Amino acid sequence: MIDYFDELLKQPSLFKDESKLDINFVPTKLLHREKELYLLSQLFLVLITNPNSASRKILITGKTGVGKTATVKFFGKLIVDAAVKRQAFIQHIHINCRKERTSYKVLIKIMTTINPKFPKRGYSPQELLEIILEYLNNYELHLLIVLDELSYLINDGGDLIYSLTRLNDDSINLKQRVSIIGIVRDISCLSKLDASTMSTLQRNIIDFKNYSKEEVFDILKYRSQISLINNAIPDDLMNSITELVHIKGDIRYGLNLIWRACKIAERKHLRQIDAECIRLGNQDLIPFSAQDILTSLNEQKLIFLLSITRGLKQSGKTQISIAECISIYKMICENVEIKCRSYSQLWNYLQDFKRDNFISVLIQSESFKGRKGLIEITEFSLFKLETELIRILKSKGFFV
Ligand SMILES: Nc1ncnc2c1ncn2[C@@H]1O[C@H](COP(=O)(O)OP(=O)(O)OP(=O)(O)O)[C@@H](O)[C@H]1O
Ligand SMILES: [Mg+2]
């Protein structure tokens, strides 16, 4: 019998440690974000020099893949370590609001992080807030809550931020127990928040600018050095990758491209990548950020997005009406025998797609039930998006 593992292991690998190219891996060095880390440290210094005397609310903005999440996670570790050294107690909690979409889920996440034994059911948000505060007071703790991808919480996030802020004011001994860092790509996502929450958040904004070409090069080179064997990517090819990545500025895209190019090189039994590996790797690449979102969508959303993609592809036009998309959607639903969602649910899906940068919607008239709108997909190749959607749906058992 052939031992396939043996065979595979005999083939030389270009990877030293593949996990270090993973999008969720936080590297020990964050190149070219020193300024932002210094600024954050300055803003939070008081939490260490004079624990619980102040609370900070900061908003971080910047395009996709520019290191917002990585930098804030890195900073979380920095501040907790610095606090421990000085006998101040700060706990850092990073919450992705795309995954914890309601205030209740966020509060439960906070509570179960500070106390893993806490039961997940049976409390109202108000009760949870009180329990959290009591816990913080009992343990003389300050919480640094990071609300990443905050735009997903906009519908009731305002209340949450307001209540979290109020946690401080209401406490008997007036100790400040909670600081917040919000992360959004674009500040306009927050326009639905009430004015006072907005003004609290807007007071301190740190905008993460896109990396320059040289910076993209340095970062990708560093990530390759820790994850690949020596010389897997010669400098001139790293330059070509940088050219492709720099236009969008999305490092995640770069890491994915490197991973793909190296896998292709391995299949060809090469000891280093060549230009063709990059070309092939780049061919059907949906940005990693989008890929991550696509795999988290339910089948209804996947089918609706597929309907939009197909509608546009088949019509050959740059825009398609919502009504047309819905009729394609109904047809697909019928074919795979699932129940269609209501108009208002589909409308909500459109808002989500818009927020995820998959589509833009141009509204022509706004009367209820008669919302006439046109949809556009500009960021993705329709072919790539369709292929990817079909692949994901297939993995869920839907053949469309
Ligand atoms: N300066 C850097 N040094 C090393 N790796 C980096 C740097 N900046 C970003 N990265 C890596 O690039 C990837 C994307 O970064 P990150 O997830 O922080 O982006 P983001 O700004 O949060 O994007 P999004 O808005 O899509 O969430 C991560 O894997 C991260 O580790
Ligand atoms: Mg992020």
pLDDT score, position 303: 97
pLDDT score, position 332: 96
Spatial separation of the C-alpha atoms in residues 125 and 145, rounded to whole Å: 16
Is the predicted pLDDT of residue 200 greater than 90, yes or no?
Answer: no
- Ligand closest to Cα of 210 equals 1
Spacing, Cα 74 to ligand 1 middle (Å) = 11
Query: Where does ligand 1 bind, in terms of residues with CB under 6 Å?
Result: 23, 27, 30-33, 62, 64-70, 185, 219, 223, 251-252, 255, 289
Q: Which of 251, 259, 293, 356 to mutate to test the pocket of ligand 1 (most atoms within 8 A of CB)?
A: 251
- Ligand closest to Cα of 288 equals 1
Helices (H), the chain: 4-10, 34-49, 68-85, 103-114, 125-138, 154-170, 195-202, 213-227, 235-248, 251-267, 275-283, 288-296, 299-315, 322-336, 343-355, 382-395
Buried b (16+ CB within 10 A) or exposed e, 24-35: eeeeeebeebee
Nearest residue CA, atom 29 of ligand 1?
A: 23
Spatial separation of the C-alpha atoms in residues 166 and 389, rounded to whole Å: 43
Q: Can you tell me the mean pLDDT for 373-380? A: 83
Beta bridge pairs of residue 94: 146
Residues above pLDDT 90, as percent of the chain: 54
Tens-place pLDDT, residues 94-129: 999 988 888 889 999 999 999 988 887 889 888 999
Spacing, Cα 24 to ligand 1 middle (Å) = 9
Tens-place pLDDT, residues 21-78: 988 899 999 999 999 999 999 999 999 999 888 889 999 999 989 999 999 999 999 9
* Mean pLDDT score across all residues of the chain: 88
329: its two tokens: 């959607």
Spacing, Cα 67 to ligand 2 middle (Å) = 7
- Ligand closest to Cα of 206 equals 1
Neighbours of 291 (CB within 10 A): 17
